[in-house]
Amino acid sequence: MRFFFPDSQDLVSPSYDFLRDEYAAHRVRQRDDRYAHEVLDRAPYDGILVSKSIVDGSIKGSGKYSTAQRARLHRMGVHKFFRLPAGVEALGDNGAFNYIDEAVPPVTAAETLDFYEECGFDAGVSTDHVVFGFTEDASSDGVEPEWESRRRLTLGLAQEFLALCQERRSAVEPVGAAQGWSPETYADSVRALQDLGYRRIALGGMVPLKTSQILASLKRISDVLKTDTQLHLLGITRVDSMDDFSELGVTSFDSTSAFRQAFMDDRKNFHTAERAYVAIRVPQVDGNPALKRAILAGNVSQKDAVKAEREALNALRSYDGSSRSRQACLDRLDEYQVICQSKKSYLAAYEETLTAAPWTQCNCKICREHGVEIAIFRGTERNKRRGFHNMSVLADKMAKLKSHRSADG
């Protein structure tokens, strides 16, 4: 089972000053900042997934790449642009969720392949169109006609994409996109793609589905799946079900879940092999909108806020694992919560995090170098590093799954 990380230009600055919360004066982001595979001892993924809509933009507007970054990617190629180590694959797709509201994809099969070839991708997913709904009922009664039309449109685009790859003798490995609105239609899409000649198929549109619905679809797909066909799950993690997915023919997946939970989840911010912990929130005084408004309104003293912020950070940096030191941290955090007028208290969760001190038990390069800073929910540099740490934990979990499967024969 291989893990691909979807790119969204997530980098960190190796020269960032955590004590002053400052970047180096002459920092150039693309030149100086580093990707996860450059700041960890080893890449926490087997490949990266880069969407055309992220780079070139889509019907909804510009992508996440600046004009200069986009030009550099096309000029240098994906491997040099991302400074990928040997063995890390570059997989491209269209980013169909970015044009889900359109009647038809705003990009052709030829434009898709042009993008993959110009940027030097190892493999690329055919143009697809996400189906809106899902039912486990095998019949088509009550099903929106658009569901089936989008599925068939995706198959037609896959046929065109494969023909172009063959005609051009493209170095890009074609990956057929399969959409569906039921286990039966997903299986039919996989069967049709195999008949066309695809031996690598990406299952799209499953992100909103329950795990039971994904498993039901995979079980039906397994009835038609050829032994040499590889299945990729687009946007799906579900680590607890990965063993079941693997048994049903899934060989790879991509997801930002572990990374984004570091700063998007309310509770599961700092991952370990056993569980996830709440990161300790110490927002920057000048970076907290609610606190800034309170200061401007005269309801909070800026001097008091800055003092409480510094004392909370100092207490965390001085934490030695003792109950006395832990209580000092909790007291300072409580004081800063009050000043920040926080609507929710995390003190009980913070006590769990401090008691476990998971950063002291982690052997990843980020935790070794930065310690408690990685457990602090504060600004993009700490939060993204914690996301990179989370991906290293996921990589370890995947390695153990592979080891168990090998041991089981």
Q: Is the pLDDT of residue 291 over 80?
A: yes
List, by residue range, all CATH 3.20.20.105 domains of the chain. Answer: 46-255
CA distance 260 to 265: 7
63: part of which helix (H) or strand (E)? none
**Is there a catalytic annotation at residue 254?**
yes
Q: 26, 55, 154: which is closest to 100 by C-alpha?
A: 154
Q: Kindly give, in sequence order, each residue whose CB lies less than 8 Å from that of residue 338, ignoring residues fewer than 6 positions away.
A: none
Q: How far is CA 113 from the centre of its chain?
A: 24
Please determine, for residue 268, whether its predicted confidence score (pLDDT) is greater than 60: yes
What's the chain's length in residues?
Answer: 409
- H or E stretch including 6? strand 2-6
Name the DSSP letter for residue 240.
Answer: G
Give me the mean pLDDT over the 183-206 stretch: 97
Determine the pLDDT at residue 140. 74
What is the model's pLDDT at position 396? 92
pLDDT at 28 over 90: no
Each residue's pLDDT tens digit, 48-93: 999 999 999 876 667 788 899 999 999 999 999 999 999 999 999 9
The one-letter code for the residue type at 391 is M
Q: Does residue 142 have a pLDDT over 80?
A: no
93 noted as active-site residue: yes
Question: If you average pLDDT over every residue of the chain, what do you get?
Answer: 94
Q: Give me the architecture of the 46-255 domain, per CATH.
A: Alpha-Beta Barrel (3.20)
Q: What pLDDT digit, counting tens, does each position of 208-236 carry?
A: 999 999 999 999 999 999 999 999 999 99
Alpha carbon of residue 261 to chain centroid: 9
H-state helical runs in 36-88:
36-39, 52-56, 67-76, 78-81
Taking only Cα atoms into account, the Rg of the chain, rounded to an integer number of angstroms, comes to 24
E strand map for 274-356: 276-277, 280-281
Band of pLDDT at residue 316, cut at 50, 70 and 90: very high
Eight-class DSSP state of 106? S
What is the DSSP-derived secondary structure letter of residue 298?
A: T
Pairing outcome for strands 280-281 and 250-254: unpaired
Residues 6+ apart with CB under 8 A from 390: 258, 259, 261, 262, 270, 271
Could you give the 3-state DSSP secondary structure of residue 190? helix
Of the pLDDT bands very low, low, confident and very high (cuts 50, 70, 90), residue 404 is: low
Q: What percent of the chain has pLDDT over 70?
A: 98
User: Distance between alpha carbon 154 and the CA centroid of its chain, in Å?
Assistant: 24
Q: Report how far residue 211's alpha carbon sits from residue 364's, in angstroms, rounded to the nearest whole number.
A: 30
pTM of the shown model: 0.93
Confidence (pLDDT) at 145: 92
- Give one DSSP letter per residue of 337-377, joined into a string: HHHTT-SS--HHHHHHHHHH-HHHH--SHHHHHHGGGGGEE
The one catalytic residue among 10, 33, 56, 93: 93
Q: Judge whether residue 269 has pLDDT over 90.
A: yes
Q: What is the DSSP letter of 34?
A: B
pLDDT of residue 61: 65
In this structure, what is the dihedral angle of CA atoms 256, 259, 262, 263, given to the nearest 10 degrees? -60
Torsion of Cα atoms, 388 then 391 then 396 then 401, to 10°: -170
Cα-based distances in Å from 65 to 2, 48, 304: 26, 16, 40
- How crowded is the C-beta side of 70, counted as CA atoms within 13 Å? 14
